[in-house]
Structure 1
Amino acid sequence: MLQAIRDRAQGWIAWVIVGLIILTFALFGIDQYAKGDKSVAVADVNGESIDSREFLTLYNSQKVRLQQQFGDMYDTVVQDQTLREQVMDALIESKLIEQWANEHGLLISDPQLAAAIQAAPVFQKDGKFSDEQYKQVLANNNFSVARFEYEQRKFLIENQFKGLLSSSAFATSAEVEQLAKLQGQQRDINYLRVDQRPFFGKVTVSDDAIEASYEKNKADYIEPEKVKIDFIALKKSDIAKTIEATDEAVQAFYDENKSLFATPETRSARHILIRTQPGVDAEAALKKIEEIKAKVDAGEDFAELAKENSEDPGSAVSGGDLGNFEQGMMVPEFDQAVFSMQEGQVSEPIKTEFGYHLIKLEKINERAVTPLAEVRDEVIAKYQAQQAERQFFDLLEQLNNIAYEQPDSLEPAAEALGLTIQTSDFFARNGGQDEITSNQKVVNTAFSDDVLKNKLNSTAVEINPDQSVVVRINEYQEERQKPLSEVKDEIKTQLERKAAIAEAAKLADELLVKLGQGETPESLMTNGIEWNTIGWVGRDAQNLLPQMLQEVFKVAKPADKPVWHKYQLPTGDTVLIQLKAVKAQELTAEQSEPLKQAYSELTANAELSARINALDESAEIEKKAVFETIK
C-alpha cells in the first residue's frame, strides 16, 4: 500500500510540473504568435493540430530554464530527444483537457479572468492592479493583451478541470488510521548473512561456458565509435605567466587598487536585546529597555546588565559581546547605529525586527592598507591576471579566425599564437577521462559533421571561463565487435561471480532448513556466514540498507513464533531475515492530520491520472516526426 502511495506521489509531482510548464507557457515567450512565422503541425489530437510555433515556444522556454539550472552540465544531464518528448506530451495533455472542457461546457467568465489577472503581483503597483503596468509587462514580453488573455483563460480552465477532481477527493478515518498504523509500524528483526565471496575460489568456469556467454551476449561487447582529437588550448593562467610585471606597473596597479589590499574598518560592540513578538504590543519591551538605559546612564556596568537582562542567548552569557564586525554585517538599523557612534558611547533604544537594543560601542578598528612590500606577490598575481583577462579575448578571436581561414590544420594557429598542439586519447560519445574530453561540449563538437565528417577545425569551445580549445580529428575508430580473446577474462569474472552468488544462495537454502529444524543462528556461523542482531526498526531506520529495509516490511507477520525470509542483496550476498514481532505505533491527531491531507491529495492525483489516461486512450493522437528535429 505504501509503495502504491509512493508511486502515486511521483505522478502527482509530475502533474505539478506539467502545471508549471503550462503556467510558463501562459506567461513567457508567446511572441512568436505575433510574428507570422511559417508554422507546421507537429501533432494532431482528435483532428485538432498542435502547431510548431506552440511546440517551439514551450520547448525553448524549458530548454533555457534547464540550461540556467544545470549550466555546463546541461548537455550531460538533459537529453534533447527526451525533452522534446516531455514537451510534446505536455501539449497533448493540455489539448485533451481543452477539448474535454469545451465538450462539457467548462467556461471561465470575464470576471473570473479579470480577478485572476488583477491578483497577479507582476501586474500590480503599490499593491493594486495597474492597467498601465499590465500593458507594459505584456509589451515588454512582445505579445498582445488578446493573446495573453486567451492563454490565461485556457490555463484557468485546465486548473478548473483539475479542481473538479481534487475537490471530490477525501480520506476516511479508517483509511487514515490504517495508513497511520502502517507508517508508524515497527518490526523486531535479526538476520543471517551468507557472503558469496568465499565461493569465488571454489567455483570453476569452463572455456565452453565462456564462449557460450560471449555468443549469447555479443551485443554487450561492441565497442562504440571513438575519436582521437588534436587540440589547442588557450588559457588565461598560461597567458598570465608570460606577462612581465615591472616595478612601475606593479606600483601603479597597487595604487589604483588599494582597496583590494586593505583591511576594512571593523567595530566591536556589546548589546542588550529585549525581544518583541509579532502581533504583541511592543510597549512593554520598550519600557523595559528604557529602564535598563537609565541604569546604564546611572553608571551601572553594561556587561553585567546584559548578562542579567539580554534576551539574545548567543551573547548574553558574555555580557552582550558581539566581537568585531564589518559594516553591512548586521541588520540595517543596528548597523547604521553602530557605525555612527563614538567609542564608549551607548545608543538610545534601537528597534529592529528582533526587538529593542541598547548598543555600547567598545572599539573602532580603523581601515588599514597593507604596505606593498608585504603583498607584492599577491599584487603581481592580480596584475598579471588582469592583463591576461584583457589579452585573452583578443587572442581567442585570433585563434578563431586563423582556425577558420585555414581549416585543414591547427599548425598555423598554434604557430601564430605560440601554442602547442596536444593530442587526446580515444574517447566515445559519452566522453573521455581528462578535463578536455570529458567536457560534453567538446564531445559534441568532435562528433559534429563539420569536424568528424568534413575534417574541419572547430570554432573555439569554452571549457571554463579560464580556458577555451579549438579541436580537429586526429583519428577515427569505427564501431567494432570485440573478439572473444579480448573480453575472455571479463566474461570469466562475470560467470565466476554469478556462480559464487548461486552457491551462496544454495547454502542459504540449506541453512534455512536447519533453522526450521531448530538449530540456532549462532551455531551456524562460520567463514562467510555472519549473524546480526538488530532489534526494532521503523521504516526510516538507518542501520539497514534501504533495499533490505523495504524487504523487511514485506515479510508476513509472525503468528506464534519467529518467521524466516530469504532475500538476495544487491551485492549478491544472501540474507535470511528473522522477523520476531510486529507492533504499530499510534500517531497523535496532530501527526495524523498531514497523513489525511496527503492521502486526499494522492487520491485526487490518482483520479486525475486515471482521467487523463482515459482521455489519452480514447483519443486519436498522431505525433508528426517533424517535432523531433524542428528548430
Structure 2
Amino acid sequence: MFDAIRNSKRFVQVFLGLIILPFAFWGVDSYFGPSRGGGELASVGGSSISQQEFSQAMRDQQERLRGQYGREFNPAMLETPEARQAMLDSLVTQRLLLLHASKSGLATSDAQLIDVIGSIPALQEEGRFSKRRYEQALRAQGLTQTGFEAKLRQDLTLQQMVQAVSDTAVVSKASAERMIAIQLEERQVSEVTFRPEQFSAQVKLSDDAVRDYYEKNRKQFEIPQQIRAEYIVLSREILAQQTTVGQDEIKSAYEKNARNYVTQEERRASHILIQSPVDAPEAEQKAARAKVDAILQQVKKTPGDFAKLAKEHSQDPGSSEKGGDLGYFAHGAMVKSFEDAVFALKENQISDVVRSEFGYHIIRLTGIKPGKVRSFEEARESIVAELKAQMAGTKFAEAAEAFSNSVYEQADSLKPAADKFKLPIQQTGFFDQSNRVAAGPLAGNDKLFMALFSDDALKNKRNTDAIEVAPNTLVAARVLEQRPAELRSLESVKGEIERKLVAEAASRLAQQEGEAKLSQLSKGEPIALNWSPPQTVVRQPMRGLAPEAQRAIFKASTNKLPAYAGVHLSKGGYALFRISQAGTGTAKGEGDPRAKAQSAQLTQLAGVEDFNAYQAALRERYGVKIDKAALAKNTNE
C-alpha cells in the first residue's frame, strides 16, 4: 500500500497538499477533544476548530510558502478572505477525514509507520535507518517522538484514505478518445506580424498630449512616502549562541546517551538463494537442496566465480543482478539463521548451505566494518549544540514575553531591549510600501511591515510590537527617518510619457492594419504578404507562440482552406495567421505517451470530482458548522 502511495498519481499529491497542512503537532486527541481556546471558527461532528489552531495553520503555511518561493513569496496573498476561507476549508476536510477514520477503525499500523520513518533519507546512515539521527532530528526541532509519530500516523492515514478515493476514478474509453482527438489536433500555420515599431513613424503627438496625460495620471508619477528603520531580532538560535554549557553538563549528557554514540558492527555479504519455503512439499525441498548443493560444489572449486554463479542461479530478484551483493547490514536486519551464519564467518569465507524461511543460501562474507564508540571528544561538539538548542528552547518562551514587554514599555527606543538581551540593532535602507527590497528581512512579514507604516510608528517614532516573523523568531522595529511623498516634475517624465503614447498609438495602427488585411483575406481578395514558413501548431503550450494566438488559431473554422485568423497581441500589435492544413493527430498505439498523458489528465479530473463528492458526503454525515462572522473578524484583525 505504501509503495503505491510513494508512486501515487499527481492528483493524490494535489489533494494531500490541500489537506495535510504543516501545522503544529497537536496530537490525535486534539482533533476530537474540546477547543484549545481563542474562540471557535468551525465545528466538525461536534469537534471544534479553534482560532488558535487556525492561526497556527496560517503561520505554518506562510513559512512553508516562504521556504518554497523565497523572496518571491508575498505574505499578503494569505491575508485575503478567499485565502483564509480556503485554509479553513482545508482544516475542515482534514478533520472530517480523521474523524471518519477514527469512527471506521482505520489507522496506520506500527509496521507501516516504521517503514515510512526508516525510508526518510535524512534519518539514515549509509543507507540504513539510524536511531541516533532520528533522536537528534527530533531534538533539533523541539519535538517529542510521541508527538511526531502521532502526527505522522495522521498524515499516513489521510494518504491511505485519499488513495482509496482516487483509485475509484474511472473515465470511459469514449470520453478519453474524444479528448485525446481534440488534444492531438494539429494545424499547419504561417504567420505575419504587424509590430508597433513598424508604425511609430506615422504617429504625430499633439503639443498638449503629453501634458494632458501627465495631468490625468499624476498618481503614476508620484514617488511614495519612504522610511528607513532599525530593528532587533530575538530567536531561539540567537539564545543558543548566547548560552554556555558547563563541562559537567556535557559529560553527563554523553554518559546518559551513551548508546547514541555507539555504531554497531556491520557486515557485507553476498549470497546465492534457491527458494524453498519451509511449508513446501518435501519433494520440492529435496530438489532445491540438491540444486544448492551442486552450486556449492562449483563455488568451492572456483570461489572467484561467486558473483557470476549468483547472477546465473540465485533466485533473489533483489540481489542476483548485483552478483548476490546485499550491502552492509547490522544485527537485526536479517532473519536469524542467515544473520547467525554471516556473523560467524571470517572475511572472504564462504558458508555451507544455510536454511532460512525463504530457502537455501550460500553466503560469502565480503566486508566487515567494526563497531565503534565515538569518544567524548569526538561527540563533544554535537552534544554542545544539542544542549544549547534544548536550553534555548526552554528559555525562549520566558525571554519572548520579557522581550515583548520591554519594547512595549520603553517604546521610544529599541536600545533597552537590545542591551537587555545582548542583541545588535540593525538598520534598513529607504523603502516604501510597494517596493520592499531595501527593507531586507522586514519585507517578508506583512504584519510587521504594515506596523512600520502605522500612524504611531510614523508620527511618534514608537517601537512596533514584538512580532513573530517565523517560528521561535520575534522582531521589533522602529522608524528612524521619513521621506514624504512627492510628485515627479513634468520635465523629468516627459520622455517616458512620449514613448508610452507613441507605443500605444503605433500599436493601434498595427492592429487596424492587421484587421483590414484579415477582412480582405476572408473575402478571398488576393494580397501579397510576407508569410513565414508553415509550422505545425498543436494545442499544448508552444515556445514563441502567445496563448491568445494559439486560441485564435484553433477557434478558426477550417471547413474551407486556407483559413485565416487574427489576434491582438498582449504585448502590442497584431498577428495574422494562414491555416493551410488541419487534422487530428493519432495516438501511436496504447503506449503513445501523448495518449497516456491525456488519459491521466482525465482521470485526475474524475478523481477531483470523486473526492469532492466524498467530502460532501462526509459533511452531510457528520455535520459542519462554520462561523462566518468569526472568520471575517479574524480576517480583519
TM-score range, shorter chain: 0.5 to 0.7
Match of 2:160 in 1: none
CA distance in 2, matches of 1:388, 1:34: 27
User: Distance between the aligned counterparts of 1:321 and 1:274, measured in 2?
Assistant: 15
Matched, 1:362 2:370: no
Is residue 437 of structure 1 aligned with residue 448 of structure 2? no
1:119 aligned onto 2:123: no
2:410 maps to 1:406? yes
The residue that corresponds to 1:186 in the other structure is: 186
Q: How does 1:193-208 map to 2 (within 5 A)?
A: 193-196=193-196, 208=208
- Measured in 2, the distance between the counterparts of 1:117 and 1:371 equals 47
Structure 1 pair 628–267 and aligned structure 2 pair: CA distance change class (3 A): same
How far apart in 1 are the matches of 2:261 and 2:200? 63
How far apart in 1 are the matches of 2:487 and 2:472? 40
Instruction: Report deviation, 1:584.
Output: 2.7
SS at match of 1:554: helix
Q: Measure, in 2, the Cα distance between the counterparts of 1:549 and 1:289.
A: 72
Do the aligned residues in 1 keep the contact of 2:288 with 2:360 (CA within 8 Å)?
no
Of the three residues 65, 71, 80, the one matched with 2:63 is 71
Residues 208-264 of structure 1, C-alpha deviations (whole Å, 9 max, x = no match): 333333344445556666543221245788888899999x99x97998899999998
| 2:436 alignment partner AA | G
The C-alpha deviation readout for 1:312-371, integer Å capped at 9, x for no partner, is 78865552445x55659989999978985643466846679xx99875431013356899
Structure 1 residue matching 2:416: 3-state secondary structure: helix
| Corresponding residue number in structure 2 for 1:495 | 501
Change (3 A) 1:412 1:305: same
Structure-1 residue corresponding to 2:582: 582
Structure 2 CA distance for partners of 1:563 and 1:284, relative to 1, 3 Å: farther
AA aligned to 2:535 is I
Separation (CA, whole Å) in 2 of partners of 1:552 and 1:509: 13
The question of whether the paired residues in 2 share the 8 Å contact of 1:231 and 1:470 is answered with yes
1:568-592 superposed Cα distances (whole Å, 9 cap, x missing partner): 4444364333322222346789979
Which residue is 1:565 aligned to? 565
How far apart in 1 are the matches of 2:450 and 2:341?
56
Query: Which residue pairs with 1:628 in the alignment?
Result: 633
2:214 counterpart residue number: 214
Mapped to 2, the partners of 1:198 and 1:575 lie a distance apart of 13
CA shift at 1:502, angstroms? 3.7
CA distance, structure 2, for counterparts of residue 384 and residue 173 of structure 1: 60
Q: Secondary structure at the match of 2:187?
A: strand
Structure 1 contact 81–628 (Cα < 8 Å) conserved? no
Structure 1: gaps (5+ residues) = 1-9, 21-26, 43-49, 92-113, 127-169, 526-530, 609-621
Give yes or no for contact 2:187–2:581 (8 Å, CA) kept in 1: yes
Correspondence 1:472 to 2:478: yes
Distance in 2 separating the partners of 1:541 and 1:311: 48
Structure 2 vs 1, CA of residues 545 and 194 (structure 1 numbering), >3 Å: closer, same or farther? same
Q: Of residues 305, 312, 315 in structure 1, which corresponds to 2:309?
A: 305
Match of 2:554, SS? Answer: coil
Query: Match of 2:554?
Result: 554
Q: Could you tell me which residue of structure 2 aligns to residue 534 of structure 1? A: 535
Aligned residue in 2 for 1:131: none
Larger mean Cα displacement after TM superposition, 510-519 or 407-416: 510-519
The 5 Å alignment of 1:311-390 reads 316=320, 318-321=322-325, 325=328, 340=343, 342=345, 343-344=347-348, 348=354, 360-366=364-370, 390=391
2:235·2:473 contact (CA, 8 Å) conserved in 1? yes
Query: Contact 1:182–1:584 (CA<8 Å) still a contact in 2?
Result: yes
Provide the aligned length of Structure 1 versus Structure 2. Answer: 513
Segments of structure 2 that go 5 or more residues without pairing to the other structure are: 1-10, 22-28, 67-74, 92-98, 112-169, 615-626
Contact 1:176 1:595 in 2 (8 A): no
- 1:167 equivalent in structure 2: none
SS in 2 for 1:121: coil
TM-score computed with the length of structure 1 as normaliser: 0.56
**CA shift in 2, pair 1:520/1:34, >3 Å:** closer
Bigger shift: 283-292 or 548-557? 283-292
What is aligned with 1:106? none
| Percent sequence identity over aligned pairs | 23
SS of aligned partner of 1:457: coil
Match of 1:136 in 2: none
1:304 Cα shift?
0.8
d(CA) in 2 for partners of 1:598, 1:511: 43
C-alpha change, 1:564 and 1:488, in structure 2 (3 Å) is same
Q: Deviations over 1:587-619 (max 9, x none)?
A: 7899798899789899999999xxxxxxxxxxx
Alpha-carbon distance between aligned partners in 1 of 2:47 and 2:633, rounded to the nearest angstrom:
11
Q: 1:321 to 1:422 in 2, by over 3 A?
A: same
> Which residue matches 1:95?
none
- Mark the CA change 1:448 to 1:559 in structure 2 (over 3 Å): closer, same or farther: same
Following superposition, the deviation at residue 473 of structure 1 comes to 2.5
Give the whole-Å Cα distance in 1 for the aligned partners of 2:317 and 2:427. Answer: 62
How has the CA–CA distance of structure 1 residues 296 and 487 changed in structure 2, closer, same or farther, with 3 Å as cutoff?
Answer: farther
Query: Does the 8 Å contact 1:189/1:577 carry over to 2?
Result: yes
Q: Per the alignment, do residues 438 and 334 of structure 1 end up closer, same or farther by CA in structure 2, a change over 3 Å counting? A: farther
C-alpha separation between the residues in 2 aligned to 1:275 and 1:338?
Answer: 18
Query: What secondary structure is seen at the aligned counterpart in 1 of 2:558?
Result: coil
Distance 2:474 2:102 in 1: 47
- Seen in structure 2, the aligned counterparts of structure 1 residues 507 and 319 have a Cα distance that, compared at 3 Å, is farther
Shift of 1:303: 0.2
Q: Secondary structure at the match of 2:561?
A: coil
- For 1:502-517, what aligned pairs fall within 5 Å after superposition? 502-505=508-511, 508=514
Shift of the alpha carbon at 1:409? 1.0
One-letter amino acid matched to 1:495? L
Output the amino acid matched with 1:534: Q
Are the aligned partners of 2:448 and 2:464 in contact in 1 as well (CA < 8 Å)? Answer: no
Residues in 2 aligned to 1:496 and 1:275: alpha-carbon distance in whole angstroms: 82
Partner of 1:229: 229
**SS across alignment from 2:412:** coil
User: Structure 1 residues 423 and 186, CA, compared in 2 at 3 Å: closer, same or farther?
Assistant: same
Q: State the AA in 2 paired with 1:232.
A: I
With over 3 angstroms needed to count, the CA separation of the structure-2 counterparts of 1:481 and 1:319, relative to structure 1, is same
User: Partners in 1 of 2:203 and 2:356 — Cα distance?
Assistant: 80
Q: CA 1:606–1:313 in 2, change beyond 3 Å: closer, same or farther?
A: closer
417-426 or 450-459, which deviates more: 450-459
Q: What is the TM-score of this pair, normalised by structure 2?
A: 0.56
Residue identity matched to 1:364: I
Could you tell me how far apart the structure 1 residues matched to 2:63 and 2:237 are?
Answer: 22
Query: 8 Å contact 2:448–2:467 — kept in the other structure?
Result: yes
Checking the alignment, whether the CA contact within 8 Å between 1:327 and 1:335 is kept in structure 2 is no
Structure-2 change in CA distance of 1:438 and 1:89 (3 Å): closer
Separation (CA, whole Å) in 1 of partners of 2:241 and 2:479: 29
Counterpart in the other structure of 1:446: 452
Alpha carbons of structure 1 residues 597 and 396: separation in structure 2 relative to 1, 3 Å: closer
